[in-house]
Amino acid sequence: METRGPEVIRDKEAMRKWSRSVRSQGKTIGFVPTMGYLHEGHLSLVRESRKLADVTVVSIYVNPGQFSPTEDLSTYPSDFAGDLAKLSAVPGGVDVVFHPKNLYDYGVGEEGVTGSRRIGGGGAVSCVENGGLGHETWVRVEGLEKGLCGKSRPVFFRGVVTIVTKLFNIVEPDVAFFGKKDYQQWRIIQRMVRDLDFGIKIVGSEIVREQDGLAMSSRNVRLSAEEREKALSISRSLAKAKAFAAEGQTNCTELKDMIIQEIVGASGRVDYVEIVEQESLEPVEKIKSPVVVCVAAWFGTVRLIDNIEISGFA
Ligand code: AMP
């Protein structure tokens, strides 16, 4: 099988130029935004893009704008050389890796407006300051961002949607790929694209799991062996909830309690367990139409999320 290394572009103007030249040849661009430290979950999105688009761009950028000052930006894992090797090994490869240094640095503009001011010390950028000089524009999806992860991570989706908007404006893709692992994120991006009339198709891809069921995540590497074992309580209880629903248990309180007990029993700290309607993400009390069961829980210092869709048990 032919493999080739991707072209690495670090400059946003060079990226836009590349995309426009490709489009002028009548080719479609598939785009996979990531924060790097790639695993099979990311690579499944790349393979999907290779199927649906003529060329594929993968971005690798750890976005400071979506981390609050207390979150794990400074310890977020990275391995750029390893990422390039993994992308090169995908059959057909990827065409471009967009790896910008800082997407909030606008230099000194004509009116003397400088680049972003940042909070955080020791060179570890923790969060882009809102309302400072430089970057002060944020894209918010006001309803969908409120629940689930938005409750405990109040600046997270503002940061995600803003960086995805910026990336869409730089890469100008035809189709972009998001994992259902980050279910709320996928739904929020879909809504943003619809509401702001981006001419970009959003594809949601199925969750890729380790053989034992743990949803793949760049953060899994920070779990100890013992924590990793205990974290299996998340995927195990989600699968159980789906099986119970298939057997006729439609009471969401009962299902959520079962999941909470499993996770707490494995020494996890539950952030939330919610059963919500698949598009509106509104909580439901009884399963009557397609829902998704969403979980966020801490094992040690690592916050994990996972979910399972339940459809067709009306
Ligand atoms: P991240 O690098 O964590 O920002 O993720 C980049 C993209 O990969 C997002 O669209 C994620 O939803 C997706 N992704 C991450 N983990 C998985 C997984 N286990 N299965 C499917 N997609 C994933």
By alpha-carbon position, which residue is closest to atom 6 of ligand 1? 34
- Encoding tokens for residue 143? 């309803």
Give the list of residues 6+ apart from residue 258 with CB closer than 8 angstroms, or none: 237, 240, 241, 244
What is the number of the ligand 1 atom nearest to the C-alpha of 182? 12
CATH of the domain at 188: 3.40.50.620
Q: Which domain holds residue 267?
A: 218-309
Q: Which of 205, 239, 265 is the C-terminal boundary of a domain?
A: 205
Beta carbons within 10 angstroms of residue 60's beta carbon? 22
> In 3-state terms, what secondary structure has residue 275?
strand
Q: Does residue 251 lie within any of the structural domains?
A: yes
The whole-angstrom separation of Cα 171 and Cα 189 is 16
Q: Which of 205, 237, 255 is the C-terminal boundary of a domain?
A: 205
Q: What is the pTM of this model?
A: 0.93
- Encoding tokens for residue 134? 């430089």
Q: Give the distance (Å) from ligand 1 centre to CA of residue 34.
A: 7
Q: Does residue 234 lie within any of the structural domains?
A: yes
Q: How far is CA 119 from the centre of its chain?
A: 23
DSSP state of 156: H
Q: Rounded to the nearest 10 degrees, what angle do helices 80-89 and 40-52 cross at? A: 40
Q: Same domain for 38 and 108?
A: yes
Q: Does residue 249 lie within any of the structural domains?
A: yes
- pLDDT digits 0-9 by tens, 216-239: 999 999 999 999 999 999 999 999
What is the number of the ligand 1 atom nearest to the C-alpha of 39? 16
Q: Same domain for 146 and 287?
A: no
Beta carbons within 10 angstroms of residue 107's beta carbon? 8
The whole-angstrom separation of Cα 122 and Cα 75 is 13
Q: Give the distance (Å) from ligand 1 centre to CA of residue 241.
A: 23
By alpha-carbon position, which residue is closest to atom 19 of ligand 1? 216
CATH of the domain at 303: 3.30.1300.10
Q: Is 42 a catalytic residue?
A: yes
DSSP state of 1: -
Q: Give the distance (Å) from ligand 1 centre to CA of residue 180.
A: 8
Q: Same domain for 143 and 292?
A: no
Asked if 190 and 145 count as a contact pair (C-beta separation under 8 A), the reply is no
- pLDDT digits 0-9 by tens, 134-192: 788 999 999 999 999 999 999 999 999 999 999 999 999 999 999 999 999 999 999 99
Q: Same domain for 165 and 109?
A: yes
- pLDDT digits 0-9 by tens, 236-281: 999 999 999 999 999 999 999 999 999 999 999 999 999 999 999 9
Give the chain's mean pLDDT: 92
What is the number of the ligand 1 atom nearest to the C-alpha of 216? 19
The whole-angstrom separation of Cα 138 and Cα 150 is 15
Q: Give the distance (Å) from ligand 1 centre to CA of residue 109.
A: 35
For ligand 1, say whether the CB of 215 is within 6 Å of any of its atoms.
Answer: yes
pLDDT of res. 129: 57
Asked if 65 and 104 count as a contact pair (C-beta separation under 8 A), the reply is yes
Structurally, the chain folds into a number of domains equal to: 2
